[in-house]
């Protein structure tokens, strides 16, 4: 063979495609011509090959098998947007992979070209911030150890040592029962440096395990009680409703029995979002122990591989859902002890469940005695001074991410939860609020300009990048997820190219779209637009898809099923009930979940109970509802009653996860096969599975032609099956063999079918 001409290279393309009669390769090197370059099965064994001379440089390409655009399941791929994906030649080096997917560089987005200098500046700012706090002589992990210095620590057989940072304070005392709760008779701390650190050695006969205590600070012009900023245990006085720090020093340290679950080679996260307090059916606050014994087995049996726990950090107001945090290093005592939380996490690991916690570093409660606000008498110790320090929409305080002491506090908090509680990762709450001075409120992110204007908080961006670096240095398999609605480019990109390094972003536009559809007549649902909304994602990041999280179910909102069937949810959910509105809601509830999961990227999420269409909303006890727990619980009896459609929805959810997991469908990208706007039919393949949806409210389609890959196709999953609260209109376990590149199948109204593809040998 003669040598390649100047500027060109010879590349061999190959694809194993038994049963295929013709195979082509198309890409940027041949103007994506699907008939330009054929592959030949020279040995008659189903292995098609060809060698082409193509220009040097990077090229995207794809195979065309029997006129169907196809990826090789054994070759890496890169998302190209709009639900499509292509192979890359040559395969780029480096670790930017998630299963078979290669993540693109930020530079691959041409719309970011004008902002590349700003992206480079963000990287430089992150590096400068890291150098500023570490001095360039210690690691970030060493820096993130404030919890090992501040707070109350055992200093030997006879005394404790207590340290706090309060630069504006002029005096500080610790007081409790040992001095009859008289702050002026408490044990004094001494200021030990100009920075504002205070320290005291406290005899152990003054403070013992379980004892309650507070600090009393004096500052110019005032004084007040405070709880230690680094307190690891805070409890509420049931009589006064006030909060106190508690000495927590068990005789024996907790012994972990089970290792963290293996991530399974970047297996997709199937996240069950949960709240310990509302996880039981009884009208009360649930406990860590009850969650461990009763709820964890449900989650594992349902097929999820991760739990996302809300409200773990201590928060004074139960109704805040855990988002008004006061004590960042204390696990919420209203649910139990730290050891009981550790037992919960250890049992989750035994069951193969990863534990992700909501990390609220976007703001803090305004409470002063039990919180950080005005800890040393100033409004700006941990927070911005002036109006910028207050989040008016959330009635909370906003951290100043420029201050080294704030970075010390927050980064140490990340490390503390990883080290002390064996947490497997974090969902960073309120990232949009952190990133912008306007908190993302009343701003349209219709183009890229708002991502780079003067409203962006570069210090917050640098903090998020440093937090991701720290977390992954301490626990390389940890998962970090950003809750950002703005679409800020770079959140999921690597630190080396100016990104924040998050493993995934919540795809918050997907639930918004599903809930918008509930206000549109069913016959106007556009399946092409739906496909776009579910698959349109940035090439440089991963996303977590979901139909609904806790956000949609909070008081003032409704769950997806409740939104569609209204009051019929109370009397129309019997399996044998005749109610067309309920039929509609139940069918669409299943289709929405299957389509969202089947088009997901790095993972899929549901909120506790929503998988079976839990009725009503979430509302915590408060004055406005007479302090009722009626809406702050989960009615598992509805799910367990086989005579109710709730049971069928739960069984559908379990089977859905099982089928996609068993066949590792999410290891490959979704590939669109067919859409028809007026018929409201959508079909796509993913790995060895083919998904066919008919969203039409009134038209069932007989002998409907769907283009598929060559081979055998067997029906393995039918959303309309009777066991899934359906009408059983499709014969089970049908087998299809394509003719003319397509199969003919019956598609009842509001039904989805899943076929298993086998590329049978000739």
Provide DSSP, 432-462. Answer: HHHHBTTTTTT---SSSGGGSSTTB-HHHHH
Beta 742-747 vs 751-758: how paired, if at all?
A: unpaired
- Helix or strand (DSSP H, E) at 309: strand 306-310
- Check if the beta carbon of residue 243 is closer than 8 Å to that of residue 235: yes
Compute the Cα dihedral for 503, 509, 512, 517 and give only its sign.
Answer: negative
Catalytic, out of 130, 314, 376, 483: 483
Task: Tell me how far apart the alpha carbons of residues 410 and 358 are, in angstroms, rounded to a whole number.
Answer: 14
With left for phi above 0 and alpha for psi between -120 and 50, is residue 246 left, alpha or beta?
Answer: beta
Is 223 considered catalytic here? no
User: What are the residue ranges of helices labelled H in 599-666?
Assistant: 636-640, 645-662
Whether 147 contacts 412, CB under 8 Å: yes
d(CA 587, CA 693): 11
Instruction: Classify residue 141 as exposed, middle or buried by CB count within 10 Å of its CB (0-12, 13-18, 19+).
Output: middle
Q: Does 483 qualify as catalytic in the annotation? A: yes
d(CA 697, CA 590): 14
CA distances for 752 relative to 33, 215, 652, 717, angstroms: 33, 61, 12, 8
Marked catalytic residue, from 37, 41, 376, 429: 429
What token pair was written down for 627? 């302090």
Whose CA is closest to 590, among 563, 611, 618?
611
Could you tell me if 482 and 521 are in contact, meaning their C-beta atoms sit under 8 angstroms apart?
no
**By CB neighbour count within 10 A (0-12 exposed, 13-18 middle, 19+ buried), where does 250 fall?**
exposed
* C-alpha separations of 225 from 54, 182, 334, 373 in Å: 74, 11, 22, 12
Find out whether 267 and 98 touch, Cβ atoms under 8 Å. no
**Cα 400 to Cα 475: distance, rounded to the nearest angstrom:** 26
Listed in sequence order, the residues at least 6 apart from 168 whose beta carbon sits closer than 8 Å to its beta carbon are 196, 219, 220, 376, 377, 378, 381
Beta strand 543-546 with 504-506 is parallel
Which of 133, 113, 114, 131 lies closest to 123, judged by CA? 131
- Do 117 and 498 meet the contact criterion of CB atoms below 8 Å apart? no
Q: Which two tokens stand for residue 486?
A: 């703005």
Cβ(726)–Cβ(719) under 8 Å? Answer: yes
Structure tokens at 153: 């620590």
Q: Find out whether the peptide bond into 270 is cis, omega within 30 degrees of 0.
A: no
Give the residue carrying structure tokens 């600070």.
Answer: 217
Q: Are 485 and 431 in contact (CB under 8 A)?
A: no
Other Cβ atoms closer than 10 A to 319: 17
Q: Which residues are catalytic?
A: 429, 483
């Amino acid at each position: 063979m003669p040598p390649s001409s100047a500027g060109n290279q010879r590349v061999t393309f190959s694809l194993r495609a038994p049963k295929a009669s013709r195979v082509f390769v198309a890409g940027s090197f041949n103007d994506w011509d699907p008939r330009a370059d054929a592959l030949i099965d020279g040995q008659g064994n189903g292995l098609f090959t060809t060698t082409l001379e193509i220009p040097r440089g990077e090229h995207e390409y794809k195979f065309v098998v029997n006129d169907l655009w196809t990826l090789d399941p054994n070759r890496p791929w890169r998302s190209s947007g709009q639900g499509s994906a292509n192979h890359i030649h040559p395969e780029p080096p480096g670790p930017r992979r998630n299963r078979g997917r290669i993540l693109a560089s930020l530079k691959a987005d041409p719309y970011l070209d004008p902002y590349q200098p700003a992206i480079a500046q963000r990287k430089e700012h992150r590096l400068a911030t890291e150098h500023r706090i570490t001095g360039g002589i210690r690691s970030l992990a060493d820096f993130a150890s404030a919890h090992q210095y501040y707070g109350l620590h055992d200093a030997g057989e006879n005394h404790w040592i207590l340290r706090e940072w309060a630069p504006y304070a002029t005096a500080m005392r610790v007081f409790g029962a040992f001095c009859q709760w008289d702050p002026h008779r408490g044990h004094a701390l001494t200021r030990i440096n100009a920075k504002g650190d205070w320290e005291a050695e406290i005899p152990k006969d003054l403070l013992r395990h379980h004892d309650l205590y507070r600090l009393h600070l004096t500052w110019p012009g005032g004084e007040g009680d405070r709880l230690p900023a680094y307190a690891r245990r805070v409890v509420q006085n049931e009589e006064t409703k006030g909060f106190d720090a508690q000495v927590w020093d068990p005789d024996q340290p907790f012994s972990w029995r089970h290792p963290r679950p293996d991530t399974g080679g970047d297996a997709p996260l199937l996240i069950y979002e949960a709240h310990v307090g509302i996880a039981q059916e009884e009208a009360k606050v649930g406990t860590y122990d009850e969650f461990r014994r009763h709820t964890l087995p449900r989650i594992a049996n349902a097929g999820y591989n991760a739990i996302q726990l809300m409200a773990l950090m201590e928060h004074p107001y139960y109704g805040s859902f855990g988002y008004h945090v006061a004590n960042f290093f204390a696990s919420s005592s209203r649910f139990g002890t730290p050891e009981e939380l550790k037992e919960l996490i250890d049992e989750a690991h035994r069951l193969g469940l990863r534990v992700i916690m909501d990390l609220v570093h976007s703001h803090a409660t305004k409470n002063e005695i039990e919180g950080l606000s005005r800890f040393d008498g100033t409004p700006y110790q941990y927070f911005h001074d002036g109006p910028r320090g207050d989040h008016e929409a959330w009635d909370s305080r906003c951290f100043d991410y420029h201050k080294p002491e704030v970075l010390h506090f927050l980064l140490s908090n990340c490390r503390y939860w990883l080290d002390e509680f064996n947490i497997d990762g974090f969902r960073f709450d309120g990232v949009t609020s952190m990133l912008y001075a306007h908190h993302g409120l009343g701003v349209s992110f219709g183009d890229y300009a708002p991502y780079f204007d003067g409203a962006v908080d570069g210090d917050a961006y640098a903090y998020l990048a440093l937090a991701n670096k720290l977390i992954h240095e301490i626990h390389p398999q940890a998962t970090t997820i950003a809750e950002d609605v703005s679409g800020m480019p770079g959140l999921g990109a690597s630190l080396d190219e100016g990104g924040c390094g998050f493993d995934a972003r919540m795809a918050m536009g997907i639930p918004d779209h599903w809930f918008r559809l509930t206000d549109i007549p069913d016959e106007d649902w556009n399946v092409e637009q739906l496909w776009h909304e579910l698959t349109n994602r940035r090439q440089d990041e991963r996303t977590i898809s979901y139909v609904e999280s806790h956000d949609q179910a909070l008081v003032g909102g409704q769950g997806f099923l409740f939104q569609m069937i209204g009051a019929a949810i109370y009397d129309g959910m019997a399996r044998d009930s005749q109610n067309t509105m309920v039929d509609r809601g139940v069918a669409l509830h299943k289709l929405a979940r299957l389509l969202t999961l089947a088009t997901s990227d790095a993972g899929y999420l549901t909120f506790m109970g929503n998988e079976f269409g839990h009725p009503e909303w979430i509302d915590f006890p408060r004055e406005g509802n007479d302090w009722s727990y009626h809406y702050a619980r989960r009615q598992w009896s509805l799910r367990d009653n086989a005579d109710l459609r709730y049971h069928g929805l739960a069984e559908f959810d379990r089977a859905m996860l099982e089928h996609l997991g068993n066949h590792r469908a999410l290891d490959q990208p979704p590939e669109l096969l067919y859409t028809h706007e007026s018929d409201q039919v959508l079909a796509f393949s993913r790995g060895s599975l083919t998904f066919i949806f008919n969203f039409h409210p009134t038209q069932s389609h007989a002998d409907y032609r769907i283009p598929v890959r060559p081979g055998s196709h067997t029906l393995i999953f039918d959303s309309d099956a009777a066991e899934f609260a359906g009408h059983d209109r499709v014969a089970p376990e049908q087998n299809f063999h394509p003719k003319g590149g397509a199969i003919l199948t019956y598609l009842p109204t509001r039904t989805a079918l899943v076929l298993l593809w086998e590329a049978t040998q000739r």
